[in-house]
Amino acid sequence: MVIDSNKYENIIFDLGAVIINIDHSLTAKSFVELGLNINDPKFKNAQQILFDSFEKGEMASQEFRKKIKSYFKNPPEDKEIDLAWNAMLLDLPIERLDLLKKLKTKHRTFLLSNTNEIHFNAISNYLQNKFEIHDLSVFFEKTYLSYKVGMRKPDREIFDLVVSDNNLDPKKTLFIDDSEENIEAAQNLGIQVYCLDVKKESMLDLF
């Protein structure tokens, strides 16, 4: 599908799977290789709360590592935790960055991401090493990272923040995400939406 971008004044982008390619299974695999039993009921019951809290900035990176280590019989080093945690982060095609640059000249563009300090630092390091770009902020008018604003999708408050903070008209604002849950939350607020099917298309196919 091709989007008529002329219909929108503002475009809000998700990060994971929309801009940067990701594979969550690689992180699970890496933790198993380090000795974590991901099927341990204690870990399975706690992991979503743990991950959500980290994404909302309710704990520092060191505290997150410490909590992850508590589920290992033989805890790995901090560096090994980070490598396993970042294993899900794949490549970021230069063509997507070029598209973001182009769209920024014609639209107000924003980044809205559920992410955490370890992941965002890894992505920034990737951009610096591969493209000599400081971080993703250069491609957007403003970035909203869950761990920095203390909110996460699909909670209404983070969408309200982006809209009110920038005086956006929801009817003239397009939100692109790969999560149906996040898309539905934005749509309920009157924001125009597109759910990207990452198995069949990329953001390059939309414009």
pLDDT at 205: 96
Looking only at the bridges linking them, the beta strands covering 173-177 and 192-195 are parallel
Here the contacts of 157-165 (C-beta below 8 Å, separation 24 or greater) are 158/112, 159/112, 159/185, 159/186, 159/189, 159/191, 160/189, 162/12, 162/110, 162/112, 163/189, 163/191
Would the pTM of this model clear 0.85, i.e. be above it?
Answer: yes
Write the burial class of residue 196 (CB in 10 Å: 0-12 exposed, 13-18 middle, 19+ buried).
buried
CATH number at 24-88: 1.10.150.240
> What is the distance between the alpha carbons of residues 207 and 205, in angstroms, rounded to a whole number?
6
pLDDT at 101: 97
> What is the distance between the alpha carbons of residues 60 and 167, in angstroms, rounded to a whole number?
31
Is the CATH number 3.30.70.20 carried by domain 5-21+91-205? no
**Which ranges in the chain are annotated with CATH 3.40.50.1000?**
5-21+91-205
Whether residue 183 contacts residue 193, with contact meaning beta carbons closer than 8 Å, is answered with yes
Looking up tokens 């019989």 gives 73
Cis (ω within 30 of 0) for the bond into 154?
Answer: yes
What one-character DSSP code corresponds to residue 176? Answer: E
Which residue, among 2, 1, 207, has the nearest Cα to 107 in the 3D structure?
A: 207
pLDDT at 50: 96
Residue-by-residue pLDDT tens, the chain, 207 positions? 789 888 999 999 999 999 999 999 999 999 999 999 888 889 989 999 999 999 999 999 999 999 999 999 999 999 999 999 999 999 999 999 999 999 999 999 999 999 999 999 999 999 999 999 999 999 999 999 999 999 999 999 999 999 999 999 999 999 999 999 999 999 999 999 999 999 999 999 999
Whether residue 100 contacts residue 92, with contact meaning beta carbons closer than 8 Å, is answered with no
Whether residue 154 contacts residue 182, with contact meaning beta carbons closer than 8 Å, is answered with yes
**Which ranges in the chain are annotated with CATH 1.10.150.240?**
24-88
